Structure 1
Amino acid sequence: MNTNSMQKDSAQIQAIAPKLQQVIGAAYVHPWSQIEQPWQNRISQAIAPTSEVACLAFPQTATELADIVTCAHQNHWGMIPAGSGSKLHWGGLIQPSSLAPHLSPFITLSTQRLNQLIDHAAGDLTVTVEAGMRFAELQTLLAKANQFLAIDPSYPQEATIGGMVATADTGSFRQRYQGVRDMLLGISFVRADGKMAKAGGRVVKNVAGYDLMKLFTGSYGTLGVITQVTLRVYPLPEASHTLILSGDDGAIAEATSLLLKSALTPIHADVVSGTVMAALGLKSAMGLAVRFQSILPSVKEQMSRLAEVGRSLSLSYASYLDDEDVMLWERLQTRMTVAPQSNQIACKIGIQPSKAIALLQELHQLSFPFWSAQIHSASGLGRFICASDFPSNHLLKLRDSCQTHGGFLSILQAPTALKQHIEVWGYSGNALNVMRSLKHQFDPNNLLSPGRFVGGI
């Protein structure tokens, strides 16, 4: 690129923020040089080194957001939707694709000021909120009605509801309550052309637009910008206790199998690696952490039955009650969450549940320090984290093992150099053409987060 072209591009970049300021006001659009931390770091981690971001916008309403998207669509600017930005660095690097090579620079759109409670139908066990409401704030509001949202997301203090839907970030509650898409009853969003749309409703029995809600769950901001969601909620349990079994790998596998076949109803049931056990103050090559929540007599009875299973298999067990139980799962979540600015590698993994123990054994045999793993027993989904110097060939070998047993390994977070070296999603299924077709229908100009999702979508 010659000097004149570079100067022209620089002038075009500098002109973007003033244009958007005319749309929603100067106070809510920040040029790149004026963006505060941690936003600059989080955006920098999300984009390819060759990409540029002109500004960060904070619309106050869904209408303002639609006006910004309309302006971007008319000017062919790339857009990076975000909530608080806590998971903006997950997935592939955002960059102009071969379908839209002109998309540079980008604008980042944060929904964190779209944070109002729209409706809480406590009797119907549903809640409707704007996408920018933080998860922790919503849980506090629901607790006043003795209810809660059965999701255990990463970065719970920062995560927004829209961001949790966009990344399908469920956590250990999946054991009992399934995933985000199973709790999603309604959704409103802004299309890539600035038009507003919605699907579903505010009642549990309303199934209109169900497929559309599934599409947006885990779409990583590539189909539209979520503005409002309706979710099902649940009554807060009377008691919450946890039992962690530890000991021989084979016995842990047998205990897991017996638990899943039994009439017991845990809300969490996770197989964890020895490094996680050590972080919890327990010594074992791996363990099975099982949490029960219900009325107190039921919790006590189920804890007793699981303890008996452990004794029959010569496993050790540790009990955690009430406040200890809450602290335990907070520590476990902290251990399995990588800070946004960290150079550590965080992967989402999936494998046939019956192969989870074998996968942890394979990892242990690599004899490489500083890794941790957590796998949800019923679904086979989980998280694997390791140091930034974990050999890439080991990652690829781990991915092969997961895929051999009907699963996957997707790199959520990693140093930019590694994301440029390894295809982060590692998708090997046959639905890529369908996904690309859907992307084209929703975003024909490829304006929304190009490159972040599977196959460079």
Structure 2
Amino acid sequence: MNMKGISEQDVSFEDKFGNKGAKILKPTTEAEISEIISEADEENINVTIESGGTKRGYGGVKTAYDWTLSLSDYKGVVEHNVGDMTVTVRAGTTIADLQDFLRQHNQMVSIDPDWPDQATIGGVISSNESGCKRLKYGSARDLVIGLRVVYPNGEIIRTGAKVVKNVAGYDMNKLFIGAMGTLGVITEITMKLRPIPKYESLVQVSVPKEKSDELKTLAVSIQDSVIEPVSLELVNPSLSKKLMGREEYMLLIAFEDVEKSVHFQEEWMENHRPQGSFIEVIRQDKAREFWRTFSALAPNSLQDEQSASTQVILKIGSKNMDVFKIMKDSESISSSVSIEAHGGMGHGISQYTLTGEEAEVLKAIRELRNVAESKKGYAIGKHLPYKLRKEVGAWGEKTPSFFLFQGIKQKVDPRNTLNHQRFIGGI
């Protein structure tokens, strides 16, 4: 391939995560992206897509592709409508850079994924990522109002609109959000924004292991009350010890509002916390620093390449109150595997980081998946070395609705040009 102005780089396949092309192409314009994809489709060249590269351990049973389409040089804000509180941004823009830009206008995009300095908005949208503050702000899917997408044949389409109030036609955005780049290359994302909260705090309530039921009772009380936390995150003792030096179960209850409202909610927490529990309140800069530290705890494929031990992340979805039961059941899993876990008691999404010897980690993955599925939930691999993805599968068993995904993929990308075998069921 010889396209003027497009950066090319030959690479080696000797890595632990796969999802990598023999040649990396770095376009800087949407037209170049379209040209690359259309040529690949015509020549039966398979392409993997990445931006920051933090998610190469997320899905996929294919070690190597012909090309990697990197959007790392395709970045920047395209349009920002301050009055309408919307922004259109290129896919290769990191979350941190986007938030820094919006902060100048006292606005923010309300997502809090891991590794915001490295993760890009394109990757976050393609995997439908979210963080602890999903309780109030939702997932990436809830923020998107419009996309520009390059189809496998090179055609450029627009979905949704650049205004928040849009009710015309089908919501095509949701077809591409979370599809792991298997249906098209997302080049631009238009999202609704929020004002930066005037005041924020984080209330940390912890209890010894033998009193963990009291935190579950507290979580129920919070959700039945008048207060409106941004996060209601349950943390297991291993992760609590790393964060706070206390090997106890802990709830992270965040508040973002005007100062008077935040203090009222803090007082409610003080009055309703379990007897004998430990409570600490941190505010403003200290609260923000805590969340920055929290976002960098989990491994990713950029900083885990040379790790001696096996590290994996499981994303577990369940009924919100089953988060507690699954976390308690995880205590019985092999003591030779370190498990650092947190889960949303309001939305039911949990994240488990497992570290240890490969065989023991593999066993723990299967046990955790069985626990989640016994509660009619699921466990998918967000970060798995290629070898383990082949062993246990990133997505678990095919669901009865799999034929719908398969049909859409066949219609949109019949030659399997884009991210082949990256998504559910190897599509």
Q: TM-score, normalised by structure 2?
A: 0.93
* 1:290 and 2:253 correspond: yes
Hey, what does 1:63 align to over in structure 2? 31
Distance 1:140 1:291, change over 3 A: same
Q: Which has the higher helix share?
A: 1
Corresponding residue to 2:318 among 351, 362, 367:
351
Give distance in 2, aligned partners of 1:210 and 1:370.
Answer: 45
* DSSP-derived class of the 2:171 partner: helix
Give distance in 2, aligned partners of 1:453 and 1:340.
Answer: 22
* DSSP-derived class of the 1:335 partner: coil
* DSSP-derived class of the 2:183 partner: coil
State the one-letter code of the partner of 2:59.
G
Q: Please list, as runs of the form range in 1=range in 2, the aligned pairs for 1:297-336 lying within 5 A after superposition.
A: 297-311=260-274, 313-336=275-298
Hey, what does 1:177 align to over in structure 2? 137
Hey, what does 1:78 align to over in structure 2? 46
Corresponding residue to 2:412 among 425, 436, 442:
442
Distance 1:32 1:138, change over 3 A: same
* 1:30 and 2:9 correspond: yes
Hey, what does 1:251 align to over in structure 2? 214
- How far apart are residue 337 of structure 1 and its match? 4.1
Give distance in 2, aligned partners of 1:185 and 1:291.
Answer: 27
Hey, what does 1:45 align to over in structure 2? 17
Give distance in 1, aligned partners of 2:299 and 2:284.
Answer: 23
User: Contact 2:60/2:423 (CA < 8 Å) preserved in 1?
Assistant: yes
Give distance in 2, aligned partners of 1:209 and 1:280.
Answer: 47
User: Contact 1:32/1:56 (CA < 8 Å) preserved in 2?
Assistant: yes
Give distance in 2, aligned partners of 1:94 and 1:118.
Answer: 34
Hey, what does 1:13 align to over in structure 2? none
* DSSP-derived class of the 1:150 partner: coil
Give distance in 2, aligned partners of 1:438 and 1:253.
Answer: 41
Corresponding residue to 2:339 among 355, 371, 379:
371
* DSSP-derived class of the 2:321 partner: helix
Which runs of 5 or more residues in structure 2 are unaligned?
A: none
* 1:167 and 2:147 correspond: no
Hey, what does 2:383 align to over in structure 1? 413
State the one-letter code of the partner of 1:28.
S
Give distance in 1, aligned partners of 2:109 and 2:304.
Answer: 24
Hey, what does 1:142 align to over in structure 2? 102
State the one-letter code of the partner of 2:332.
Q
User: Contact 2:355/2:361 (CA < 8 Å) preserved in 1?
Assistant: no
Larger Rg: 1
Q: Matched residue pairs, number?
A: 416
User: Contact 2:338/2:356 (CA < 8 Å) preserved in 1?
Assistant: no
* DSSP-derived class of the 1:397 partner: helix
- How far apart are residue 89 of structure 1 and its match? 2.4
Hey, what does 1:94 align to over in structure 2? 62
Which runs of 5 or more residues in structure 1 are unaligned?
A: 1-18, 34-39, 96-103
Corresponding residue to 2:148 among 163, 188, 199:
188
- How far apart are residue 189 of structure 1 and its match? 0.8
Give distance in 1, aligned partners of 2:398 and 2:41.
Answer: 32
* DSSP-derived class of the 2:27 partner: coil
- How far apart are residue 211 of structure 1 and its match? 3.1
* DSSP-derived class of the 1:421 partner: helix
* 1:222 and 2:189 correspond: no
Give distance in 1, aligned partners of 2:18 and 2:109.
Answer: 28
- How far apart are residue 428 of structure 1 and its match? 4.8
Give distance in 1, aligned partners of 2:199 and 2:79.
Answer: 28
* DSSP-derived class of the 1:175 partner: helix
User: Contact 2:197/2:256 (CA < 8 Å) preserved in 1?
Assistant: yes
Give distance in 2, aligned partners of 1:348 and 1:362.
Answer: 16
Q: Identity over the aligned pairs, expressed in percent? A: 26
The farther-off stretch of 317-326 and 137-146 is: 317-326
Give distance in 2, aligned partners of 1:256 and 1:193.
Answer: 50
- How far apart are residue 353 of structure 1 and its match? 1.2
Give distance in 1, aligned partners of 2:48 and 2:86.
Answer: 29
* DSSP-derived class of the 1:292 partner: strand
Q: TM-score, normalised by structure 1?
A: 0.87
Q: How large is the Cα RMSD of the aligned pairs?
A: 1.8
* 1:362 and 2:334 correspond: no
State the one-letter code of the partner of 2:52.
S
User: Contact 1:175/1:376 (CA < 8 Å) preserved in 2?
Assistant: yes
